């Protein structure tokens, strides 16, 4: 079976997909207002934009493979930064052979389309697709080894281009004062003091410049249908310097703050200049999508490195960016509730190809000129023909694996000195299985997550975090008695664990023990009032007992901590609606929907608010979306029936009422 392209009238000639790891509107919007990112400002003005919800766990290898495949980690198979090698005797960086399904460039190869893929996470060894792949090990191959360092075997396809592209690598020593001073204006003074971070800054600028040089070379060299480029610079700069971004954090010395306070602004401005070049090279016939896999906390939510529980992933904010312009993109459009899973279906749509039913994301119709999607196929995995994927036994050279492992250790993602042999492999397997369980929870697949956790070794199962995850999964399956046993066992070992007590409060509430639930949650508030999700849990309890004033207070506390909290916005909307303020409820509900699409309670409250305001047609639209996401939500069908009755459509009202009968929710 061959899939034919079906291009709509305004379809682009090609698509340029640009990934800025960790880019965040919270950083970008103030810089645009100050005139520091003119390229992106113009880009957004001419095109469409919005938030992009991440997936959990927020680990780059998992996320960027979800972007490329349109599938969750359980389906694409990339579960962490490292994995056992083909022999199962050593640990290696996650590779392209870990991916169990086709990425965009494999699909395009099958359809006779040409792709350039540059620096994409976990793309090594480069796949033999129709086009060119420069893997994520290429840009670091020369750092610290000089300009004559060989290109890592397997990092370029076709391999005969390796020497040509090697000439484009930028050396850290080439990053001179003219490049450093925009980041650190006092660099000359800082350089005289040891230790300093100027060397790391040179490395990350060199890495970013190498990726850009290769990408622009390939864009100019041959014709192409898709170019996908991954820039890691913003994320790496965040790990090194976000703690020095204003306002000054308590633990940061005046000297360090003054030296590096401008680094984050500078890295965004640098990327804006790179974007300008890409747009000019892409031309008017190209649709351009700029996106990030997650954001990066830059304000009072930045974790304190002095706390043991603070790790690199704790800096990741759950909302990245998406912006698009060009043929096929609706100027002035706004993406609502978009997630990483929507990128691959949208790219396929722009190229005249169908998404598949095993891609859970939707097409971002609200930012497109042609909003009617092509009929989906069952799965691209069922389409036969050469797609350029590697067989799983393809190996990575040990020396190249070690270089990449060192970089991951420097960033804090893995231990700098791990155990050798079976112990190290065992830890990696266990860590990846925990990540898989977390990804299944994110997909609301609680039973499957329990099955994964039950297969872990005893030491891993006894970890406090894993036990809490198990309790959460058990509650998700309705196995509350088992969840209670797990939580009570944790209570014996860690009686002062705030997360355990918050979960006990949730469990008590689910069993109708409101007083006990409130007692647990109030105790946590007295001990750790900024625990993520705490005030939302308290607000849900107050909603349950119809104390809407207290619910408003709880959700307000959550929003004071994080104003982009979709659960708090939805809860506040529900409380305001019950208090007789439908206009306020609607505004709050729409704000929540801009952040997260796949949350039925948001669409329910929007629909009911529109109903209260007399907008019956708008209510039906929101409520029918709610029933698609939650087909057994009785209150949604009842509200639909009311709206149709108001419109004089008694037949449709009766059908909605019949749908509500027999439902338990």
What class, spelled out in words, does domain 420-508 have in CATH? mainly alpha
Distance, C-alpha 344 to centroid of its chain: 13
Strands 295-296, 316-317: pairing kind: antiparallel
pLDDT for res 417: 47
Q: How far apart are CA 382 and CA 466, in angstroms?
A: 36
Per the listing, tokens 């207002």 go with 33
pLDDT per 10-residue tile (average), the chain, 665 residues: 86 97 98 98 97 96 97 96 80 89 98 97 95 92 65 94 95 92 95 89 96 98 97 96 96 95 98 98 97 96 76 93 97 94 98 97 94 92 93 61 61 56 78 96 97 95 95 96 96 91 96 95 92 94 96 97 95 98 97 93 97 96 94 93 95 90 61
Confidence (pTM): 0.93
pLDDT for res 663: 64
For the chain, the straight-line distance linking the first and the last C-alpha, in angstroms and rounded, comes to 43
Tell whether domain 14-403 is in CATH 3.10.290.10.
no
Q: How far apart are CA 304 and CA 307, in angstroms?
A: 6
Q: How far apart are CA 132 and CA 117, in angstroms?
A: 6
**Ranges for all domains in the chain classified under CATH 1.25.40.10:** 420-508
Per the listing, tokens 């792709």 go with 115
* Main-chain dihedrals φ then ψ at residue 134, nearest 5 degrees: -115, 110
pLDDT for res 28: 98
CA distances to 135, 153, 370, 652 from 399, rounded to whole Å, are 16, 11, 49, 67
Residues 592 and 558 sit within 8 Å (Cβ to Cβ): no
Q: How far apart are CA 527 and CA 501, in angstroms?
A: 11
pLDDT for res 308: 55
Residues 475 and 510 sit within 8 Å (Cβ to Cβ): yes
pLDDT for res 419: 47
CB-based burial label for 375 (10 Å; 0-12, 13-18, 19+): exposed
pLDDT for res 411: 58
pLDDT for res 87: 73
* Dihedral angle over CA of 455, 458, 462, 467, nearest 10: 10
Q: Which long-range contacts (CB under 8 A, 24 or more apart) does 311-317 make?
A: 311/412, 312/239, 312/411, 312/412, 312/413, 313/57, 313/58, 313/59, 313/413, 315/238, 315/239, 315/242, 316/22, 316/54, 316/58, 317/24, 317/26
Residues 242 and 315 sit within 8 Å (Cβ to Cβ): yes
| E strand or H helix at 582 | helix 582-595
Strands 319-325, 48-53: pairing kind: antiparallel
Q: What is the DSSP string of 288-323?
A: EEEE-S-EE--STT---TTSTT--GGGGEESEEEEE
**Ranges for all domains in the chain classified under CATH 3.40.720.10:** 14-403
Q: How far apart are CA 586 and CA 651, in angstroms?
A: 28
Q: How far apart are CA 310 and CA 327, in angstroms?
A: 44
């Amino acid at each position: 079976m061959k899939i034919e392209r079906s291009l709509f009238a305004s379809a682009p000639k090609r698509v340029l997909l640009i990934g800025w790891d960790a880019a965040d509107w919270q950083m970008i919007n103030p810089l645009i207002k100050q005139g520091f990112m003119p390229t992106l400002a113009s880009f957004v003005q001419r095109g469409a934009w919005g938030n992009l919800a991440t997936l959990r766990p927020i680990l780059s290898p998992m996320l960027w493979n979800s972007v490329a495949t349109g599938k969750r980690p359980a389906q694409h198979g990339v579960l962490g930064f490292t994995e056992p090698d083909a022999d199962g005797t050593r640990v290696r960086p996650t590779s392209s052979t870990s991916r169990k399904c086709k990425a965009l460039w494999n699909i395009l190869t099958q359809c006779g389309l040409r792709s350039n893929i540059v620096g994409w996470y976990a793309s090594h060894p480069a796949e033999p697709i129709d086009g060119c792949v420069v893997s994520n090990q290429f840009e670091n191959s020369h750092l610290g080894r000089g300009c004559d360092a060989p290109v890592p075997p397997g990092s370029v396809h076709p391999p005969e281009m390796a020497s040509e592209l090697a000439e484009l690598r930028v050396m850290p020593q080439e990053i001179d004062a003219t490049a450093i001073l925009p980041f650190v204006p006092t660099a000359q003074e800082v350089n005289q003091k040891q230790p300093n971070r100027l060397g790391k800054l040179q490395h990350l600028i060199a890495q970013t410049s190498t990726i850009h040089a290769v990408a622009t070379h390939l864009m100019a060299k041959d014709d192409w249908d898709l170019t996908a480029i991954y820039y890691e610079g913003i994320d790496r700069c965040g790990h090194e310097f976000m703690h020095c971004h204003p306002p000054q954090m308590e633990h940061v010395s005046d000297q360090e703050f003054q030296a590096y306070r401008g680094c984050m602004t500078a890295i965004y401005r640098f990327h804006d200049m790179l974007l300008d070049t890409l747009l000019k090279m892409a031309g008017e016939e190209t649709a351009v999508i700029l996106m990030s896999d997650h954001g990066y906390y830059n304000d009072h939510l930045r974790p304190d490195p002095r706390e043991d529980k603070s790790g690199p992933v704790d800096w990741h904010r759950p909302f990245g960016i998406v912006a698009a312009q060009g043929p096929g993109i609706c100027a002035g459009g706004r993406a609502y509730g978009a997630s990483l899973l929507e990128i691959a279906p949208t790219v396929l749509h722009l190229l005249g190809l169908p998404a598949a039913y095993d891609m859970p994301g939707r097409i971002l119709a609200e930012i497109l000129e042609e909003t009617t999607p092509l009929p989906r196929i069952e799965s691209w995995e069922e389409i036969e023909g050469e797609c350029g994927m590697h067989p799983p036994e393809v190996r990575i050279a040990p020396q190249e694996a070690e270089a990449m492992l060192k970089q991951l250790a420097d960033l804090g993602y893995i231990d700098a000195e791990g155990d050798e042999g079976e112990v190290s492999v065992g830890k990696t397997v266990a860590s990846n299985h925990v990540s898989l369980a977390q990804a299944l929870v994110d997909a609301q697949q609680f039973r499957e997550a329990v099955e994964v956790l039950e297969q872990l070794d005893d030491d891993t199962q006894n970890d406090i975090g894993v036990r809490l995850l198990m309790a959460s999964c058990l509650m998700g399956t309705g196995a509350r008695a088992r969840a209670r046993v797990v939580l009570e066992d944790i209570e014996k070992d860690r009686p002062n664990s705030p997360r355990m007590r918050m979960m006990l409060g949730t469990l008590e509430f689910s069993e109708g023990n409101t007083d006990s639930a409130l007692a647990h949650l109030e105790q946590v508030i007295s001990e750790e009032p900024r625990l993520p999700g705490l005030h939302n849990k308290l607000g849900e309890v107050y909603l349950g007992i119809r104390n809407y004033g207290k619910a408003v207070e709880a959700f307000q506390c959550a929003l004071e901590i994080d104003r982009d909290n979709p659960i708090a916005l939805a809860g506040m909307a529900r409380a305001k609606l019950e208090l007789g303020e439908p206009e306020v409820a609607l505004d709050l509900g729409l704000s929540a929907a801009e952040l997260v699409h796949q949350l039925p309670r948001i669409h329910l409250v929007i629909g009911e608010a529109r109903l209260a305001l007399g907008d019956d047609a708008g209510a039906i639209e929101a409520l029918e979306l709610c029933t698609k996401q939650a087909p057994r939500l009785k209150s949604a069908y009842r509200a639909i029936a009311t709206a149709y009755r108001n419109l004089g459509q008694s037949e449709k009202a009766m059908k909605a009422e019949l749908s509500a009968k027999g439902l338990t929710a």
